[in-house]
Structure 1
Amino acid sequence: MGLFNAIDTASSGVTVDRKWLDAVSDNISNINTARRTSENAFQARYVVAQAVDYGTGTGGVQVGGIALGSAQGRLVQDPSNPLADADGYVRMPDIDLSSQMVQLMMAQRGYQANLATVDRAAEAYKEAIGVGKGI
């Protein structure tokens, strides 16, 4: 794998990790979003990663799509909520905060690792240019 391939592959990972971070932060920020029981709950977003040119050793990764969580959510009794139905229920998203925090840490670590790879490959490329110039 050449230096440019390393930079391209790691850069594609940075992009996917950033989308993953965006999706997780959106899920966490909407974890307490109440809706009427007649409406769909907020649907969690999950990034689907897809290999580019799988099997060739080059190409990296891309966002293959976004999967949505359950629109059914869960019913919670909260009679003080202005959106509550006659029985005092509201529809809440079916999102587990601890799972989202784990996803957040994984996406953050992946983002950091891919950025470090880009930095190291760029440094190696600069050194290779310096060697070619006889410096």
Structure 2
Amino acid sequence: MMFDAIGIAGTGLTVHRKWLDAVSDNLANANTARSTDDEAFRAQYVLARAGDDANGVYVAGIERGDAEGRIVHEPDHPLADADGNVRYPDIDLSEQMGSLILAQRGYQVNAAVVDRARESYQAALQIGRGQ
């Protein structure tokens, strides 16, 4: 039972770590300008699914955001086209910060489950030794 808890929480740790990685990448590239001839940075969204045996969660894939992005008029930008436009990713910073908090909290909760299960296992071993 305790090993099941550790295994299930371990799958949660993996998913939340991937989610944290994706959100961090999105935040780092939110202001990445490109020429209008190029695609915008495409945000990453982690897709999770329950395991087939209902014992955990797994990364089902990564969905990518829109390559169209948003066009901004910045005639002084070195990447500006003849009309003075550059392309930025269509990333909502508020949404990403909310996702960052959720992913961080999920990671912390799963790490706490692993710690508590490990402590319970060690306590059971101590009881078994008669101490």
TM-score normalised to the size of structure 2?
A: 0.97
- Give structure 1 stretches of 5+ with no counterpart: none
Deviations 1:53-93 (A, max 9, x none): 2xx442x1111110000001010001111110000000110
1:4: which partner in 2? 3
Paired with 1:61 and 1:82, the residues of 2 have a C-alpha distance of 45
Q: What's the secondary structure of 1:47's corresponding residue?
A: strand
CA RMSD of aligned residues (A): 0.8
Paired with 1:78 and 1:28, the residues of 2 have a C-alpha distance of 21
Percent identity of equivalent pairs: 59
> How many pairs were matched up?
131
**Correspondence for 1:99 among 86, 95, 98:** 95
1:15: which partner in 2? 14
Paired with 1:114 and 1:76, the residues of 2 have a C-alpha distance of 41
**Correspondence for 2:71 among 70, 75, 78:** 75
Moved over 6 A (4+): none
1:47: which partner in 2? 46
**Correspondence for 2:113 among 117, 128, 134:** 117
Deviations 1:5-58 (A, max 9, x none): 0000001111111110010000000000011111110000011111112xx442
- Give structure 2 stretches of 5+ with no counterpart: none
TM-score normalised to the size of structure 1?
A: 0.94
